[in-house]
Amino acid sequence: MDAEQPGTDLVRVRTGVYHDSVSLMRVSRAAGALPGVEVAVVAMATGLNLGIAAELGFTLPDAGPGDLLVALRAADRAAADRAAAEVDGLLEALASRTAGGTGAEEPPRTVRAAARAAGGTATLALVSVPGPHAFAEAMDAVEAGLSVMVFSDNVPVEQEVLLKRRAAERGVLVMGPDCGTAVVGGAGLGFANVLRPGPVGVVAASGTGAQQVTCLLDLAGVGVSHVLGVGGRDLSAEVGGLSALRALGALDADPATELIVLVSKPPAPGVARAVRRAAEGLATPVVTAFLGRSPDDDGGDGDGGDGDGDGPGDLTSAAEAALRALGAEVPEWPAWPAAGAPRAAEPAPRRDGGRVRALHGIYSGGTLRTEAELVAGTGTFTDYGDDAYTRGRAHPMIDPSLRLEALAAVPPGDVVLLDVVLGHGADPDPAERLAPAVAAAAARGTAAVVALVGSEGDPQGLTAQAEALRAAGADVFASNARAARRAARLAGGAR
């Protein structure tokens, strides 16, 4: 169904066609980069995406979440037609890959059918569908005897509990929902860094937390056996650590794992105690990285990265504790100070004659955001990877649009702290769009600090990204905790 708009707008709706948001975002970028194209929106026709297209001035025909929306605006009709042809070709390629690249046989239509077709060789399923549909697909995998990684977010917690309880009965592991990162037998799933193999297994109720710890270990020359993400809510009181406990047991039984690192945003106190007790009963030593401390915590270890329980820990401390436990040297973590760029201007005067310099944390990773807020002790921090911001749009590690808007809105003289996460699945060149925005902020007198999470083997190039951001005027750190301390000092804090 086509609706030709006045001038150079072209809107199409394809009924009953579905592709994931990451693939469609890449199609949008490719079309938007063509000569003469001003705007390209290729997305499922969710309420949010229809609203975005309407705000851009497109007149839209009737469409629903099961339809595919293509909205193009170009300098002239010829450019619009070229863009439409490019979109058609890219969508055909996506459909071909989804069908296995050939029409010779009908692909399986359910997870259980796919498991049967694999002849008993399949052990793990990855579910990445809109949140309202994820439970059915994940349960199908569990009933087929498969462990499952649920990349999908916006899954109700009640469904998560049911899924994990059934998985325990079936003897399989559920990673997620909202599990963004995993490494199983050296294969990266979701947002995955290129990591050397090694003796450290990670259980993580945090995707970016796992990425920070494993990338620091990799920079220190130490690799990982497996990274088992369990979803950000797993250590909540509602879920009770169901997957974390099972993942700990799995790594304890793995002969390639000599040390386990357990990473989580602030857990429920009772769940933290239960997980600590389970860890103490394992044959494999465990380093805990539980960010923050609850007032009714029992004071057991796990709050500090080194397990001493004497204060809120951070992920860099956890990586250093793991290195010491293995007898490895703790290096000086890489940092790239801004060179040749203007420093932040004096803050604007307050009415009472004082000076203010606010700190703005603009994050894509929830655990990195929490860690930065705890370490900095001041400022306003937002996780743009939260469900509230990703409903109907790609994750900010892929699409930086919302964060770029937030950066542009930071007042002159303030301080901005951002994370940039590298690896497979993430933006192939985050500095391409972020560096000009940082440079524009610096020209307005805004100081920028970047926590760059990645390994030297990542396809974006750790050093190349760091140098581009440094040249734009940002102080860049491989450690998020150290980046937060730097930002707090620039904002006038005592950290």
Domain borders along the chain are 2-98, 178-325, 335-490
Q: How many CB atoms lie within 10 A of CB 259?
A: 23
pLDDT for the residue 109? 81
Radius of gyration of the chain (CA): 23
DSSP state of 483: H
Kindly state the average pLDDT of the residues 69-97. Answer: 91
Cβ(254)–Cβ(194) below 8 Å: no
What's the burial of 352, exposed, middle or buried (CB within 10 Å: 0-12/13-18/19+)?
exposed
* Mean pLDDT taken over the chain: 87
Kindly state the average pLDDT of the residues 43-68. Answer: 87
In this prediction, residue 260 has a pLDDT band, given cuts at 50, 70 and 90, of very high
* Residue the block writes with tokens 């192939």: 428
CATH topology agreement for domains 2-98 and 178-325: no
Whether residue 241 has pLDDT greater than 90: yes
**Rounded (10°) angle between helices 430-443 and 401-408:** 10
Element (H, E) at 476: strand 474-477
Q: ∠ CA 64-66-68 to the nearest 5 degrees?
A: 85
pLDDT tens for each residue of 312-331: 379 999 999 999 999 999 99
What's at 392, amino acid-wise? G
Whether residue 295 has pLDDT greater than 70: no
Whether residue 341 has pLDDT greater than 50: no
In this prediction, residue 356 has a pLDDT band, given cuts at 50, 70 and 90, of low
pLDDT for the residue 313? 72
Q: For residue 134, what are its two tokens?
A: 């994820």
User: How much of the chain exceeds pLDDT 90, in percent?
Assistant: 66
Q: Which residue has the higher pLDDT, 308 or 98?
A: 98
Kindly state the average pLDDT of the residues 384-396. Answer: 77
Whether residue 8 has pLDDT greater than 90: no
In this prediction, residue 32 has a pLDDT band, given cuts at 50, 70 and 90, of confident
User: How much of the chain exceeds pLDDT 70, in percent?
Assistant: 88
Of these ranges, 67-71, 94-98, 393-397, the one predicted with the greatest mean pLDDT is 67-71
pLDDT for the residue 98? 60
pLDDT for the residue 100? 53
Kindly state the average pLDDT of the residues 144-150. Answer: 95
What's the burial of 248, exposed, middle or buried (CB within 10 Å: 0-12/13-18/19+)?
buried
pLDDT for the residue 303? 35
CATH code, residues 2-98? 3.30.1360
Q: Which residue has the higher pLDDT, 131 or 184?
A: 184
Whether residue 310 has pLDDT greater than 70: no
Kindly state the average pLDDT of the residues 53-64. Answer: 90
Q: What is the spatial distance between Cα 125 and Cα 136, in angstroms, rounded to a whole number?
A: 13
pLDDT for the residue 305? 36
Kindly state the average pLDDT of the residues 357-381. Answer: 94
Q: Which residue has the higher pLDDT, 287 or 99?
A: 287
Whether residue 386 has pLDDT greater than 90: no
- 3-state SS assignment for residue 430: helix
Q: What is the spatial distance between Cα 56 and Cα 173, in angstroms, rounded to a whole number?
A: 44
Whether residue 117 has pLDDT greater than 90: no
Q: What are phi and psi of 349, to 5 degrees?
A: -70, 145
pLDDT for the residue 308? 34
Cβ(68)–Cβ(13) below 8 Å: yes
pLDDT for the residue 390? 74
Cβ(483)–Cβ(216) below 8 Å: no
Domain 178-325 has CATH 3.60.70.12: no
pLDDT for the residue 352? 36
Q: How far is CA 17 from CA 52, 54, 127, 315, in A?
A: 20, 21, 18, 42
Element (H, E) at 481: helix 480-490
- Give Cα 292 to chain centroid, integer Å: 20
Q: For residue 276, what are its two tokens?
A: 């600590």
Question: Among 479, 116, 162, 143, which residue's Cα sits nearest to residue 332?
Answer: 479
Q: What is the spatial distance between Cα 374 and Cα 427, in angstroms, rounded to a whole number?
A: 27
Whether residue 349 has pLDDT greater than 50: no
**Considering the domain 335-490, what is its CATH architecture?**
3-Layer(aba) Sandwich (3.40)
